[in-house]
Structure 1
Amino acid sequence: MIVGLISRVLLGEGLLVNGELIIVVKVDVLEVEGEVVVSEESSPVMETIDVNGFQVLPSQVDSANRLFARHQDIASKFRPKNPFLKTAYMNDLLSLTKAMCQSPQKISKDDLAEQYGALAYLTEAGFKVGWLEKKLNEVKEKKNKEEACLAQLQEMEEQLQPLKQRCLDLEAQIDKANVELLVARSPLSLYNDDAV
């Protein structure tokens, strides 16, 4: 009971993420020795844009806007207030939606398991993603159907191989019989050197 209470408190504070404790450490610098040279080329600043309280990359703005337009209440129960955690959760959500748009052929069983894990992680944080779970179930069904069709095709091809070979054998026998028929139908010559 105490562990459950502690877990709920840590989760509410945004310190417990996917069953792991996040520890934030604040370091005060007392003295700096030496010099750190950082070139502007080696540390580019990533520009982010605010979309409904979440910082996203410019390349993610359209996806995030579409997500919030279709599912206005998706983050209504979202608990973490830490901006870095919010960004991480949004990145996971956008990655999950992007991954689910792939062809079932490109998604492995392990990918599906990871996507279900990510979905649970997002749900635990307070995202309303029931619609996404339905879509993930559809992807899983399509993947299962794909695998069943592949197995059926493989089985039919294995059954067809001996039949193809039998057809080739019959065609060879037909060709041989046609040659023998031509020989049987050919007229005899009386002036052949082999004749007596």
Structure 2
Amino acid sequence: MADYLKDSEIMDYNTSRIQEKALEISLNSKNQFETIKNIYEFVRDEISHSLDINGQKVTFKASEVLDNVQGICFAKSNLLAAMLRFLGVPTGFCYQRLTHEGGYILHGLNAVFLDDKWYRLDARGNREDVNAQFSVGMEKLAFPVSKEGEIDYPEIYSKPVESVAAAFNGAETVKELMEKIPDRLIESST
């Protein structure tokens, strides 16, 4: 479980900006459930999904996402993980293979450990056709797997998979990044 609480170059929660924002958001939380919900809703609602705003700034590290107030799903999941890990909530990474523009694309989300159970959360950001919610009952993800060829990968990783991290290397625009995102999960180890 300790691996799901680690700081890293990507989830750089030792930066003061992440710590201050996490503490500010969780200040009035009555319990861990409320803390997770409040942090999740902040990342989902206050950090824009780059594609929704036609943003072209590529962010990946948690502090970059917070500073630029935007990122794609993988970047937003890094920020969510960093903030929750700083607050002592074990947080992992999950993936889905979804249909996209006539093919497939990998989508990133998180899982949090609460009351001895993992719950998946998708902080991608809502819009007219997306309604992700914090839920410890029935999952309310941004994109439920429903089409042929789509996959809900069951693993919960302690860090972003290498193929996703590699896609961000050298990508100068979000458009270029989207072309580099893998269409399936390649790694199978945590």
Q: Common fold, TM-score beyond 0.5?
A: no
Q: Select the structure of larger CA radius of gyration.
A: 1
TM-score by length of 2: 0.21
Structure of higher RCO (CA pairs closer than 8 Å, 6+ residues apart):
2
Higher normalized helix content (fraction of residues)? 1
